[in-house]
Amino acid sequence: MSAVNDAELYVFLVFFVALLVVGVLALVAVGWIARGWADAPMWRRQEREVATRDEIIAAAEQAGYIHADPRGRHTR
């Protein structure tokens, strides 16, 4: 008869796999939260600095780079 019977082995394996799963999930959660904190200032900065499509078209028309045709399209 072995020192460790099958039931004890299965309990250990289930406990060990559960510990591994919890550890991996904790690492994923920490990485996800850290990435969110790192990206937040960049996203806020982009929202302030990015012009809308209409603003870009208006500035290009004003500078003379493009001209609107009667159908509403823009040509060079």
3-state secondary structure of 43: helix
pLDDT classification of 69: cutoffs 50, 70, 90 = low
Backbone angles phi, psi at 74, to 5 degrees: -115, 130
| More confident call, 57 vs 74 | 57
Q: How far apart are CA 60 and CA 39, in angstroms?
A: 31
Q: What is the pTM of this model?
A: 0.44
**Structure confidence at residue 23 (pLDDT):** 97
Residue 4 above 80 pLDDT?
A: no
Q: Where are the domains of the chain?
A: 27-76
For the stretch 5-58, pLDDT in tens is: 888 899 999 999 999 999 999 999 998 888 776 665 555 555 556 678 888 888
